[in-house]
Structure formats: structure tokens, C-alpha cells
Structure 1
Amino acid sequence: MELCQLLTRVTATAQRPTRNKSHAGELLHGYVAESNSDPSQPVVRLAAPEQLRAAFAEAGVPLQLSEGQEPAGVDSLMGALRQVLRYSTRTSHPLFYNQLYARVEPAGLAAEWAAAATNTNVHTYEVAPVYTLLEGEVVSKMASLVGFPEGSRDGLLVPGGSASNLYALHLARHRAVPESRARGLAGGPPLCAFTSGQSHYSYTKAAALTGLGTDNMVAVGCDARGALVPAALEAAIDKAEARGQKPFFVGLTAGTTVTGAFDPFKEVAEICRRRGLWLHVDGCWGVEEADSFAWNAHKMMGVPLSCAAFMTRHKGLLQAANSSGATYLFQPDKLFGSLDIGDKSLQCGRKSDALKLWLQWKAVGDAGWEARIDHCVALAEHFEAALTHPRWRGAFELVMPRSCTNVCFWWVPPSLRPWRCGEGAAQRQRDALGAVAPAIKALMQAKGDAMIGFQPLGSHPNFFRIVFANAWTTSTEMLDDLLTRIDAYGMQVASAPAAAGAAAGVGIGAAADVSARPSEAAKAFCGCGAGAAAAAPAAPALGAPAAAAGRRVSKSSEEAATEGVAAV
């Protein structure tokens, strides 16, 4: 954490004599250090809106921005910061597995602070000389890793993977119908694009925003793991052409959001090459054959949100599709004007996201990234194997074998065991199983325990999806303890769903959303099968993982440091 401490001291020196401003830096530094290393702390203190409003009011800074708002004192502002940190989800916690992002790396945090301090708009070289060069360096590095040839590649840092997918569809449309930039899509051939039925919803949003229309973003069928089926894509293209449409774009995914499935790149690349379609790969969770590629560094790499890159092998196309030539910014006769990058972006105002990625890459190194990703994969392997251990007596059931570091599973009540992915299950049984994950999660949130997402998928009722993203401080012992607690929560719900719902409300407040409580379907699963729910053991204390050894599956901090990981 030396970088963050240094920045705290520098900021404090620059802001003197207002000593409390340095206290804010110390507060943030302590919060991140605690979140990254102390599993005994709650992942979240889930509170109802009324409780949050009361907490801020007690700190002297009500949430409401009233008419004639008076300036608050420094002590009140510090109190407000403490409430923000207290009630925000600790996404850097070793037990946060809810999303595809997780722990903040210190170097990235320090860079984010520096970028905010310099308050620079990255559109022209004269305004942002350092950030312009840094963005070029990180895009070049990432594009080389993807496999795009030097000299023809191009790219930008963009505000997230959704923006990358929008850029891809926008550029593909420009290449297919360049005159559409001026006249719109009217009068031209009706266009049609394709993506898998399990791809990110941002593809559909991009279709709406570009004027393509959501009906013309065709969802192609997938296999049991959630990967696009090439034969289904070919058939969908044939149907579009038979309707008089012009196919022009295919959006693939390298690691789908829910199951972590990888679409078959080589087979689809051959189809796109043969039929003249733009191939984009959403690798936000994760090809040299692609025309464009999306990479979210704020996910497994742990760069602070948001930090994403869009890359293409077609140099000059970003400029051609987006240039407006605003003369107040992009004067051709100024110094270093050829280095301006803002005119090829859809945005004018652009915060520097390059600094945090560049500084973190310098701090961690290629070997450090490899060690972190190896560790996440090893954790996923361990967790997947642990689910099938005989000690659980069928309590845990895999939804499907994992493809990435996402592991999808059910906790199955005794009355529904053995559960074989719903083969022959009645709808009442599916409904009952689907109510289990929300009920267990409500209990976990009430205790501030591990945070794991759940969702249905196709015919599968709600299941847990645990994601290992930059889980550098998570150990196998923590995961073993977590399974013990999930089993205990499950038995608590299975034996007395109504009581479990009441327990979930403790600490959340009477005004908590009713969605935090088990539904009526949850009350049904006790009688869905021949078995009877056993007596529910008490869930282990949240602090239990703190006693576990901090062993990592792959490489320790010391080992990683010897391979080029800077000590931050």
C-alpha cells in the first residue's frame, strides 16, 4: 500500500493547513487495507433506505440536497464519508463473489486518485500529453496480446464493455454502409446482426442506439454450456438473406456473464470470413481472427472501475466513423495536433482511465497478472471439486461444468435430493428449488456474509453463480468454510422458511424490501419430496474464515514478487 500512503502524504502537504483533508486519505487507505485482508469484516451492512437516511442525518449531512443548501463543515463531511464506507458493499472483501469484478489493486487506486487530482480531459495532446501517450501504450500492449498486427491496429479506452460492443457495431455498420453516417439507414439495405442467446444484453442496447433495431439483432441458439452453435449461426444468416436483409455483424463472447462459456471463435471466424461479416469478440471476461475486441481491465485484472478497452485491426476506421473535426479542439496547425485522439471517440469529455491501468501494469508486471489469473482458476477448480464431496450428501449440485472462473450451483433441500439438473422434475419442484437461492442469500446478507449472485437460466430455476475475479486474498480454506455456512443457511431455510425470512429481516429493518424474504414457493420445498428436512444447525459465525490459514492455491505474494510483481 506504499503508493496510496505516498499519495495521502502528498495530498495532505498540498492541502495544508486543512489537516482534516489528510484524514480523508488515511480513512480511505485504512478502508481498502481492511477490505482486502480482513474476512471477519462483513461484506455488506445491508440497510433499508430509511436507515441510510437516518445514518447520514446523524452524521450531520442529510442525503437530501435542500433548497438553499448551506456548506457543511469538515467534521460533518468526514462523518458522511464514514457512513459511505460503512454501508457500501466491500467489493474488495475476500468473500465478495457477486459480480465479475472484485478487489481493488493499490496501484490502480493511487492512479485513480492522481487522475482525479489532475482533472484532465483526454481529447487533445496539448491538454493531456501524458495521458495521451499512456493510452497509446496500454492499447498497443493489449492489442498485441490479442494478436492484432502492429501498424494496422487501433483502439481507445472506453467507459465499459457495453461501450466497446457499441463501438464494434457502430464501426461494422460504417464499413458495411459508409453512407449511413450522413443519410442514416433509410434507403439502404435492411441490415441484420447476430449474437448468441447468452451474450451480454449490451448487444441489444447497441442495436437500439445505432438505429439497427433490436428486432434485427438476432439471438443465435447455444449449446448446453451456453456457447453459440456455428450451424445455428449459418442457418440464421441464410434466413436473413432470404428475407432480403444484409447480414453484416457477428458478436461473440469470450466468457459469458452467467456460465463463463466461450463461443467457438475459429469456426465462427471462418463463417464470417467466407460471408464477409464483421466479427467482434466481447472478451470483457476473459482473437486474432476478430475485426474488433473488447477487454475489461476492471474485471479479472482488478483495475478500479471503470477501465475498458476497445480494439480493432482496422486502423483509421475509428476516425472515419466518428470524426467531427471540431475546430475549437482539433486545429491542424497547432503543436502535436497529429497526436490528438479525441476526434475518433464517441465522447468529448473523457477521463483518463489509462493511468490506472498503466501504473498497475508497471506495478504487477506480466508475471503478476499470470499469477493472479492462475490463482482465480485454481480457486474455481477447488470450489467446483468441493461441491461434489461426499460429506455434503448431495446438498450441492453443479448446474453445468465450469468453462471459466464462474461456478454455477444449487443448494438442494433434503426433500429434493438427489437433484439431477431437473430431469423429470415437476414445475412445483422447480419453483421450490428456485426459491432456495434468494432465501439463502437473504440470510447471508443479513449477517454480512459472502455475497454471491443468483439467477435462473433457460429451464434452470434460480442457482448461485460464484465468480472468482482478482481473488488474490481468497484461500481454499475460506471457500471450504463458506460451503459449510451455505449448507447451514440452507438447512435453516429448509426447516423453517418463514423463520428464515424473519431472520433475514434482522439487521435490515422493518422497512426492508420484501424481496429479501423467501417467497411462498420457498415454503413448499419441505414437502416436495419423500425426504424430510433435518434440524437446521446454526450458521457459523462470519469471523470463522479469519482463523483459516491464508494459503493461496497458486503463488504467494513473496513468490509473485520474485517474478516481477512490484510491492505495492
Structure 2
Amino acid sequence: MASIVGYSQHDGLFAPGGSMANMYGMLLARYRRFPEIKRSGVSGLGRLVAFTSVDAHYSNTKSAMTLGLGADNLVLVNVDEEGRMDVDHLKECIARAKQDGALPFLVTATAGTTVLGAYDPVDAIADVCQAEGLWLHADAAWGGGALLSPKHRHKLRGIHRSDSVTWNPHKLLAAPQQCSVFLTRHLGLLTQCNSASAPYLFQKDKFYDTKYDSEQKTSRGTHRVLKFWRFGKQRGTKGLERHIDHLFEMTKFFTETIREREGFRLVLEPQCTNVCFWYEPPSLRGKRSHDQYPQLLNSVAPRIKERMVKTGAMMITYQPLHSRPNFFRLVLQNSQVNAEDMKYFANQIEVLGRDL
């Protein structure tokens, strides 16, 4: 996985989930900048500041809270119309933090945001981090699977320049849950940051090479790795590539299907396998200029979702985002889905919502 990301030397571990993997990114970034923290703690360091986009995963906020930065010191950077981090605004935020006497140390870019599936411009963000001396963590928990496809890996251009990566095979690759990996290009840093002497566990005179004792790298105990090894052996690199390409093909097929149907409207063109869209029942069509239209449209997705659940027809999530009313988010990750399934999704939404 590290070589697929593009790291020439690397270290890493399996984590309990993407949230913990993202926390490792913040933890290592802070330790590398301030190695004294391991003994003296955070009290004498001043105000540490990290940056991520407004559409980034909530685990970034939880990490800031848990590691003692405080949620107010995670600066949320604006995104463009397609949900990608605004690099110019990132530069402004860093300059403002330094002006205020804070100590910037980390930028987290997202490769596949949870809702829109947007890929932040990692290469451009890496330029900023290099110029400012900041750690770059790439949260590719959702969208990292695209790296396995020569057709789609360009979406993560520049990820090899990151200092660390979160990648969840249980998401886009559809490995059994939970399966999350944290990778870093800084060899040995995980051990330096997290190791603690425990002579009842970490004896140096064992009969085997103790570099395989991964517990010293972590902030917890052992990790399960067998499930992804077996999953990868079963499918193979080419099989995983076909899996990714098929999901993107089905994403395109569903997008074109609803584009041609009355009542469906895309929120934006998909970047990953998230298709975000509104459905207007006949009673709302032609009424977008009415004052109550946003409020009425906002109520459509929850009503249809209720009917989905009660009929057992299917399960598609919905949510609002910023000023947008509730919209549906069809997320494809199972390679068993086919064109007939895509038509079924669209047909069922029409059936469940036409009388609203």
C-alpha cells in the first residue's frame, strides 16, 4: 500500500478505523515538530494550530479535542464550488495564524470527502506545506482506492509528497470492516513517538527479529492485518483495479440516468463514487422561484427515506450541506452493482416520491 501511494521508504500500521488513523497523523506531526512533548507535555508549547477544509471528516475535530489542541485551533479552510480545499484561503489562514502568534504545524487534505466525494488538490497543498515547513496528512480513507486504477489515480496527484496517509480498504475497496491503514514516509517515527518501556512485553532478547513487534509503534495494543491480506490475495491487484473501474463506470451510468429524467437534479458532477442529487416530485416542478421552495425541497429526501426504510426497498442516505437543502447521496462501493440496479434506484425514488 505504501508503494502504491508512492513512498520510497515507509512505516505504518493497521488502525481501528479512519478516525484513529487521522489522529495518528496529527500525533506524529506534533511530535516531529515538538519531540519534547513526549516528556514535558503540551503546557509550554504555546498555541498549536492545524488546518483542514470545512468539508473534512469530523475526526479531525475529535483529534484536536483529544490531543489537547482544542477545536478552536483546528482552522477550517473554505472549499470551492466542487467541494475542494481553496488553496489561496489556506495560505491566508496560515498567514493569519502566524500573525496572531500561533504555531501552525499540520495541514490535512482530504482525498474523497465524506459527502461530496471531493478530492482536495494535494499537489498544490503540498507546495504550501513545503514552503511553510508544515506536515501534510492526506485523509484518503474514502477515496484512496482510486490509486489502484491507472484511469483514476490522477485524482490523488501529489499524494506521494504527503508525510502521512489514512487509507481505509473497507470503504472504496469493499474489504470487510474494520480495515484501516495509517502510512507515513518517515521511517521509525511511529516508534519514536509512541514507544514506552514495558519489560514484560518488549524484551530485546527474543529469539526472532523484534522489528516485527508493532505494538511499540501504536498508542494501543495489537492490530488485525490478516483480513486485508487474504482479501488482497483473493482479488489480486488487477482484480482490485477492475473493481474500482467498475464502480466509477456505474457512477457515470447512474449520473447519466438521472440527468435525463425529469425531477432529478445533480448537486455537482461526481468526483468519486458519491452521486449527490435532488429529486423534485411533480408538485414542486417549475416552482424554484417560489419563496418556500428551498424549505419544501428540504423535506422531500427525509420523507422518501422514511418510505425506503418502511418498504425495505433500498437504503440511500441524505443530508444538507452548507446552504444546500437536503439531497440524496448514493455511494457505490460494492462491485456487484450493475446497470439494472442503477435504474432500480432511480425508479424507486420516483415511485416513493411522486405523490409528495
Question: What interval of TM-score do these two structures reach, taking the shorter chain for normalisation?
Answer: over 0.9
The answer to whether the aligner puts 1:156 opposite 2:13 as a matched pair is yes
Task: Please give the secondary structure, in 2, of the residue aligned with 1:306.
Answer: coil
- Partner of residue 416, structure 1: 284
Distance 1:400 1:380 in 2: 13
Deviations 1:316-375 (A, max 9, x none): 110111000211000111222333111111112x242x1111111111101100111111
- Partner of residue 29, structure 1: none
The answer to whether the aligner puts 1:432 opposite 2:305 as a matched pair is no
How far the C-alpha of 1:189 sits from its partner, in A, is 2.7
- Partner of residue 315, structure 1: 187
Code of the residue aligned with 1:178 in structure 2: it is P
| Structure 1 counterpart of 2:268, from 384, 400, 425 | 400
- Partner of residue 77, structure 2: 220
Q: Which structure's CA Rg is the greater one?
A: 1
How far the C-alpha of 1:450 sits from its partner, in A, is 1.2
How far the C-alpha of 1:413 sits from its partner, in A, is 2.1
Would the aligned equivalents of 2:137 and 2:162 in 1 still touch at CA under 8 Å? yes
- Partner of residue 110, structure 1: none
Distance 1:298 1:418 in 2: 42
Distance 1:319 1:450 in 2: 45
The answer to whether the aligner puts 1:188 opposite 2:61 as a matched pair is no
**Number of residues of Structure 1 aligned to a counterpart in Structure 2:** 340
Distance 2:212 2:232 in 1: 23
Distance 2:336 2:170 in 1: 17
- Partner of residue 35, structure 1: none
Would the aligned equivalents of 1:253 and 1:262 in 2 still touch at CA under 8 Å? yes
If each structure's strand is expressed as a fraction of its own residues, which one has the higher value?
A: 2
Would the aligned equivalents of 2:313 and 2:348 in 1 still touch at CA under 8 Å? no
How far the C-alpha of 1:448 sits from its partner, in A, is 0.8
- Partner of residue 204, structure 2: 332
- Partner of residue 145, structure 1: 4
The answer to whether the aligner puts 1:459 opposite 2:323 as a matched pair is yes
Would the aligned equivalents of 2:164 and 2:183 in 1 still touch at CA under 8 Å? yes
Distance 1:355 1:183 in 2: 37
Deviations 1:104-129 (A, max 9, x none): xxxxxxxxxxxxxxxxxxxxxxxxxx
The answer to whether the aligner puts 1:376 opposite 2:247 as a matched pair is yes
- Partner of residue 314, structure 2: 450
| Structure 2 counterpart of 1:342, from 215, 218, 232 | 215
How far the C-alpha of 1:415 sits from its partner, in A, is 3.1
Would the aligned equivalents of 1:332 and 1:338 in 2 still touch at CA under 8 Å? no
Task: Please give the secondary structure, in 1, of the residue aligned with 2:161.
Answer: coil
Code of the residue aligned with 1:401 in structure 2: it is E
Code of the residue aligned with 2:132 in structure 1: it is R
Distance 1:316 1:294 in 2: 17
Distance 2:348 2:65 in 1: 44
Distance 2:332 2:21 in 1: 23
Provide the alpha-carbon RMSD of the alignment: 1.2
Code of the residue aligned with 1:404 in structure 2: it is C
How far the C-alpha of 1:219 sits from its partner, in A, is 0.4
The answer to whether the aligner puts 1:243 opposite 2:100 as a matched pair is yes
Code of the residue aligned with 1:485 in structure 2: it is Q
Deviations 1:241-272 (A, max 9, x none): 01100110000100100000000111110000
Distance 1:236 1:472 in 2: 40
| Structure 2 counterpart of 1:480, from 310, 320, 343 | 343
Distance 2:331 2:337 in 1: 12
Task: Please give the secondary structure, in 1, of the residue aligned with 2:160.
Answer: coil
Inter-CA distance 418–159: structure 2 relative to 1 (3 Å threshold): farther
How far the C-alpha of 1:430 sits from its partner, in A, is 1.1
- Partner of residue 138, structure 1: none
% identical aligned pairs = 42
How far the C-alpha of 1:273 sits from its partner, in A, is 0.2
Distance 2:55 2:327 in 1: 16
- Partner of residue 233, structure 2: 362
Would the aligned equivalents of 1:440 and 1:490 in 2 still touch at CA under 8 Å? yes
Would the aligned equivalents of 2:106 and 2:136 in 1 still touch at CA under 8 Å? yes
Inter-CA distance 169–369: structure 2 relative to 1 (3 Å threshold): same
How far the C-alpha of 1:171 sits from its partner, in A, is 0.3
Code of the residue aligned with 2:85 in structure 1: it is L
Distance 2:219 2:175 in 1: 23
Task: Please give the secondary structure, in 2, of the residue aligned with 1:435.
Answer: helix
How far the C-alpha of 1:418 sits from its partner, in A, is 4.1
Please, what TM-score do these two structures have when normalized by structure 2? 0.93
| Structure 2 counterpart of 1:209, from 53, 63, 66 | 66
How far the C-alpha of 1:224 sits from its partner, in A, is 1.1
Distance 2:59 2:223 in 1: 22
Distance 1:305 1:218 in 2: 31
Code of the residue aligned with 2:319 in structure 1: it is Q
Would the aligned equivalents of 2:17 and 2:180 in 1 still touch at CA under 8 Å? yes
Distance 2:130 2:28 in 1: 17
- Partner of residue 179, structure 1: 36
Task: Please give the secondary structure, in 1, of the residue aligned with 2:269.
Answer: coil
Inter-CA distance 351–291: structure 2 relative to 1 (3 Å threshold): closer
How far the C-alpha of 1:414 sits from its partner, in A, is 2.1
Inter-CA distance 359–490: structure 2 relative to 1 (3 Å threshold): same
How far the C-alpha of 1:163 sits from its partner, in A, is 0.8
Distance 2:166 2:110 in 1: 9
Question: Structure 1: which 4+ aligned runs deviate by more than 6 Å?
Answer: none
Deviations 1:467-489 (A, max 9, x none): 001x2221111211221121011
Task: Please give the secondary structure, in 2, of the residue aligned with 1:408.
Answer: strand
Distance 1:450 1:375 in 2: 21
- Partner of residue 294, structure 1: 166
| Structure 1 counterpart of 2:258, from 369, 387, 401 | 387
**Which range moves more in the overlay, 321-330 or 477-486?**
477-486
Code of the residue aligned with 1:347 in structure 2: it is R
